[in-house]
Amino acid sequence: MKRTVTALVLFLALLVLGACAPAPTPVPPAAPTTASQPQAPTAAAAKLDRPIKVGIVDTYSGPPAAFGNDALNGFKLALSEINKNGVLGQKIEFTQRDDKYAPDTALSMAKELVMQEKVDVLVGTINSAASLAISAYAKEQKIPFIVWTAKSEKITGQDGHRYVFSTSENTAMAGKAGAIALAKKPYVKYWIAGEDYEYGHAIADSAWNNLKKLKPDVQLMGQTWWKTGEPDLVPYLTQIMAAKPDAVIFATGGAGMTNVLKVAKSTGLSDKIPMWIHTATDYSVLKPLGANAPEGVMGTMDYFYYYPDTPANQAFAKSFQAAYGNPPGFAAFHAYNTAYFIAKAFEKAGSLDKEKFIDALEGMKINSPVGEIEMRACDHQAVLPIYMGVTKKDPKYDALIATDIVPLAGQDVMPTCDEIAKERAKQ
């Protein structure tokens, strides 16, 4: 009995001492980090106080609407993925405007989105002249503007500035890629033909200037230019065939390029004279032509839904097909990437501050359907691969595809940062 009482007293004493002892200091768990997403100390705990507002200015009427709608669908697909978890507690919302492929209208729509809708970021544009007009306004208003389809190298080149970015390949990149491919061919005598507008002259100049550097003995026999939207191209292409060049560089895009391809086949030019057109191998261009699309046309492009045949690209193409009933074109690819650049940059910035957003976007990398893509800090141009291919029928596909694809790394076809700085210094 005495032993039992003693043990009980001792147990109670130890219990009291334990209750009075200070509690051990808890060790905080290590903060998770990922290689693909830089950690910002303030952003990790930040919460946005409202949704991110994106204003889209693009073409939704007339033939170029095929590209505007493709881009819009790519953007919406990305948002459906991003908004599941949101960005710092908020979703990305958008408001769109139709610029009707007119630069003046595009500028008016951009002003409306900024002044009335109070958007945080402007995106869009197919027309290069429209892009340059909005870019100047974005610089004045200090609002970020991301171009996702227009391709003039002036956008991020000589006319580039802090507030404009591009997730599309540009004419400097495409022209050099085309020149690299053409320089390997035996062609010497060339003809240049295309639409008399900003993009047409930009792509022609880039392709020819790079070709001359790579193969100095090439000769320019002549040039043919027509108004944008010119319906009857037969006289122009007949004139070119009569001149008998070794090859033709066609400097046109969108609906104008579709018309060139159609007439090139109907007149027999595509069977008689080798021709190169940037984006001629894109699905959005070849699908509407169907049986009227010519085989054997050389083209450059930065996205194919069937190449590269990787899990990431397969997943993107499958999701897009399921959502919209057709495979994605290059415009959808660019807009999809744009949404992810926006989400990741605001997440890194930790706020809706436009200057912090720009700082975050510079040099940022995202994982795209074709691999990692960087937003180059020196000029705000996305570093994209360019694929050279030749149009050909394949029974597995509902339109002509690109075959004999030769990939070129983005950094191999882009102007250097020093070259960009020199161009901007001239302004």
Task: State residue 128's pLDDT score.
Answer: 92
Q: Is residue 10 part of a domain?
A: no
Please answer whether residues 249 and 207 qualify as being in contact, where contact means their C-beta atoms are separated by less than 8 angstroms: yes
Structural domains of the chain, count: 2
Q: Record the pTM.
A: 0.86
Q: What is the band of 338 on the pLDDT scale with cuts at 50, 70, 90?
A: very high
Q: Residue 105 belongs to what domain range?
A: 46-170+308-385+415-425
Rounded Cα–Cα distance for residues 267 and 305 (Å): 30
Question: Is 10 a residue whose pLDDT tops 90?
Answer: no
CA distances 54 to 75, 205, 320, Å, are: 11, 34, 21
Q: Is residue 13 part of a domain?
A: no
Q: What is the band of 33 on the pLDDT scale with cuts at 50, 70, 90?
A: very low
Q: Is residue 19 part of a domain?
A: no
- Residues 131-160: pLDDT tens digits? 999 999 999 999 999 999 999 999 999 999
- Claim to verify: residue 205 and residue 294 sit in the same structural domain: yes
Going across the sheet that includes 365-368, the strands are: 365-368, 371-375, 382-383
Q: Is residue 36 part of a domain?
A: no
- Residues 381-414: pLDDT tens digits? 999 999 999 999 999 998 999 999 999 999 999 9
- Residues 217-230: pLDDT tens digits? 999 999 999 998 89
Q: Which residues contact 161 (CB under 8 A, 6 or more apart)?
A: 135, 139
- Residues 107-120: pLDDT tens digits? 999 999 999 999 99
- Claim to verify: residue 258 and residue 343 sit in the same structural domain: no
Average pLDDT over residues 311-326: 97
Task: State residue 45's pLDDT score.
Answer: 58
- Claim to verify: residue 65 and residue 182 sit in the same structural domain: no
Token pair 């037969």 in the structure block, residue: 234
Task: State residue 276's pLDDT score.
Answer: 97
Q: Is residue 149 part of a domain?
A: yes
Token output for 406: 């030769």
